[in-house]
Amino acid sequence: MSVGYRLFDSAQMYHNEKELAQAIKASTIKRKEVFITTKLSSGTNYENTKRSIQSSLSALDLDYIDLLLIHSPYPQAKEMYRAMEEFYHQGAIKALGISNFDTQQYLEFIKTCKIIPAVNQLQVHVFFQRESLQQIMQKHGTIMQAWSPFAAGKNNFFTNETLLKIGKKYHKTPAQVGLRYLIERNVNVIPKSSKKERMSENLNLFDFTLSREDLSAIKKLDRNQSLFGWDM
């Protein structure tokens, strides 16, 4: 928090909601100055999902959640979302979203949504850029948010020759170039780090702009496939 991070991404599956609540309470930051995201695990049905949402509110010790996501395209996702919409109308959730929905799943899901998901949180990075899905979501008003924008270091992300070469021009690291590329594509990024100096580095992205040549070079890194076996 001390370096300026104000968005906190949690989930029932991570078992970190109570710890996040304790950290926010221990800080001097006002509630309105932080943005809390959490994700629902499978709620099985409408009533159980309502109880699940209430459980997250209690664990986080909050009157409202800024963004609530369905963690995966569960078979009962549409029923879960109906419960989420109810909490949204009550003011207990400020924005609704989904996570890990591919193109077909997204298009099928929004057919029954009264409120179009504000966010679809996905695996997105320079090796898996997902531009076609982003274009489809933009037409419907859904923002692409990138989890693991560093590809968890796979494919030698941090020593990639293209990212190193571009970074040298701007005195930036491959990590900063990779994040900047996504930002310039209007992808919302949530990089993960436990090191304070890396957190500061991840925020230092707004004093340079990639050239057309840079963008073209990075686009060529796209392999158009997942790097994580469980996210296929």
- For the annotated catalytic residues, the residue numbers are 14
Can you tell me the distance from the alpha carbon of 85 to that of 90, in angstroms, rounded to the nearest whole number? 9
pLDDT at residue 1, as a whole number:
55
| Domain definitions of the chain by residue range | 7-117
Contacts of 189 (CB under 8 A, 6+ apart): 145, 146, 149, 179, 182, 183
Helix (H, G, I), strand (E, B) or coil at 47: helix
pLDDT at residue 231, as a whole number:
76
Superfamily for the 7-117 domain: NADP-dependent oxidoreductase domain (3.20.20.100)
Taking the chain (232 residues) in runs of 10, the rounded mean pLDDT of each run is 82 96 91 96 89 97 97 96 98 98 98 98 98 98 98 97 98 98 98 87 96 98 92 71
pLDDT at residue 2, as a whole number:
65
Can you tell me the distance from the alpha carbon of 68 to that of 86, in angstroms, rounded to the nearest whole number? 12
Angle at 185 between CA 182 and CA 190, to 5 degrees: 35
Terminal C-alpha separation, the chain: 33
Can you tell me the distance from the alpha carbon of 107 to that of 101, in angstroms, rounded to the nearest whole number? 9
Residue 6 neighbours by CB distance under 10 Å: 10
* 140-169 per-position pLDDT tens digit: 999 999 999 999 999 999 999 999 999 999
pTM, two decimals, is 0.94
Can you tell me the distance from the alpha carbon of 74 to that of 83, in angstroms, rounded to the nearest whole number? 14
